[in-house]
Amino acid sequence: MDFELMINSFPKLMNATLVTLKLLSLSLFFGLLIGLLFAVMRMSKNLILNRFAYGYSYLFRGTPLLVQIFIIYFGFGQIEFIRESFLWVILKEPYWCAIIAFALNTGAYTSEILRSAFQTIKKGYIEAGKSLGISSKIIFYKIQIPIAIRQSLPAYGNEIILMLKGTSLASTVTLMDLTGVAKYIISTTFKPIEVFIVAGSIYLFMTFLIHNFIKFLERKYNY
């Protein structure tokens, strides 16, 4: 066991953790917006919107995240139309490609989580709101959304942890996130176990924090 290497690699890995956290928070932010949009579409009575949202979530949940990143990073650069448009400013950066792929991916899972949360809301709540003469817009914002958020917390906590692990794929498109730097150190020192222990502990610590934060929120918003 090479303890010196473990201590020396720790600061480098911590720096890389910042990249991982940035990727995670940005993709979760955009993913949540996408998820909410598609969850609403899934519940709409308009058949076209409904089918489209279903297809979207089926497509992104049925294919590996790696394929999605590769299509966006390697594939889209091939289309002349995209290369000449303003989109190219974003799509030529591996950083943004990774975030787009992550956000679309987590958006698909989030939409399913939110949809099932909305569906488990008791009809009585909505009917009670209606009979009190509250407009359906306010029922949605003040009754349905808060309950749905509470309902979806445990599942969404899992999704955050899955996404944290998903960000490791950014290393396949040249980004130096935690896994990317870990791989670099492993391939230059050939000490996989030591590096795995340090990098793995950092990931586990983050999972631990996320897990407990969600637990805390669950307790806080218990009803």
- Residues lying near other proteins in the complex (CB under 8 A): 58-59, 62-68, 70-71, 74-79, 161, 164-169, 171-172, 179, 182-183, 186-187, 190, 192-193, 196, 199-200, 203-204, 207-208
How does DSSP classify residue 63?
S
Contact 76, 82 (CB under 8 A): yes
Rounded to a whole number of angstroms, the minimum distance from the CB of residue 203 to other proteins is: 5
Give the distance from CA 9 to its chain's centroid: 27
d(CA 49, CA 109): 17
In which residue are the tokens 């949809």 written?
A: 115
Q: How far is the CB of 46 from other proteins (least distance, A)?
A: 25
Q: Which residue's CB is nearer to other proteins, number 139 or number 182?
A: 182
Q: Which is nearer to other proteins, 146 or 200 (CB)?
A: 200
Closer of 24 and 147 to other proteins (Cβ): 24
Residue (144 or 167) nearer to other proteins, CB: 167
What are the φ/ψ torsions at residue 36 (nearest 5 degrees)? Answer: -65, -45
3-state secondary structure of 121: coil
When the beta carbons of 196 and 221 are compared against other proteins, the nearer one is: 196
Q: Return the structure tokens found at 204.
A: 């586990």
The DSSP secondary-structure symbol of 58 reads H
For the CB of residue 180, give the shortest distance to other proteins in the complex, in Å: 9
* Terminal alpha carbon distance of the chain: 50
- Rounded-to-integer distance, Cα 41 and Cα 45, Å: 8
**Closest distance to other proteins from the beta carbon of 99 (Å):** 17
> What's the closest the beta carbon of residue 171 comes to other proteins, in angstroms?
7
